[in-house]
């Protein structure tokens, strides 16, 4: 049975272990943004043994490149980007204690296995509803790689950011489950 819950960042192992694929979640606290260019730079720092510009342990990374903030707003449209582009980097960040990732689309087998091994979850944001997602952002500031423009790493202060758990710490996959339910209903 899908449930609804509210989480506050940073997330503990217990927080993510309680989640199941299909659960509706709202997140309050700090969430970091990063896309593939920023992930590549983070992994270069990890490989060099250099301190990262953001904390990883217990954090959530939202795969988004927000548009510029219109007058009177803290951020522009903030819809999710396709997550598979971060798949080459996600296992290393999960190993360092990343607890949550937010994006859209499926994840690779390697990322799902890393979520099980290191206790992380992948959550989907509402694709095509960037303006709605932006309403949950109460403050935003660039914290690294400003030269990347929309792909810079930002620290977002969010209140009740709505997401759905796609992959949980047990290896469950909401997308796969949905396809199986459809096949069973059809057959």
Q: Which domains does the chain have, with CATH numbers?
A: 4-186 (3.20.130.10)
Cis peptide before 169 (omega within 30 of 0): no
pLDDT at residue 136 is higher than 90: yes
Per-residue pLDDT tens over the stretch 85-128:
999 999 999 999 999 999 999 999 999 999 999 999 999 998 77
> pLDDT tens across 14-43, in order?
999 999 999 999 999 999 999 999 999 999
Catalytic positions are 39
Q: What is the pTM for the complete model shown?
A: 0.93
């Amino acid at each position: 049975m899908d449930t609804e819950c509210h989480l506050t960042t940073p997330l503990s192992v217990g927080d993510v272990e309680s989640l199941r694929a299909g659960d509706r979640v709202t997140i309050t606290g700090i969430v970091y943004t990063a896309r593939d260019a920023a992930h590549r730079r983070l992994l270069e720092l990890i490989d060099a043994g250099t301190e990262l510009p953001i904390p990883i342990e217990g954090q959530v990374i939202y795969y988004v490149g927000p548009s510029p903030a219109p007058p009177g707003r803290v951020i522009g449209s903030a819809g999710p980007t396709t997550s598979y582009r971060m798949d080459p980097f996600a296992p290393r960040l999960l190993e360092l204690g990343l607890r949550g990732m937010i994006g859209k689309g499926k994840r690779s087998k390697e990322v799902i296995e890393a979520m099980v091994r290191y206790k992380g979850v992948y959550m989907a944001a509402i694709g095509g509803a960037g303006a709605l997602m932006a309403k949950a952002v109460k403050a935003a500031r660039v914290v690294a790689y400003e030269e990347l423009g929309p792909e810079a790493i930002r620290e977002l202060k969010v209140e009740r950011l709505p997401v759905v758990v796609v992959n949980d710490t047990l290896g469950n996959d909401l997308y796969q489950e949905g396809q199986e339910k459809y096949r069973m209903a059809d057959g």
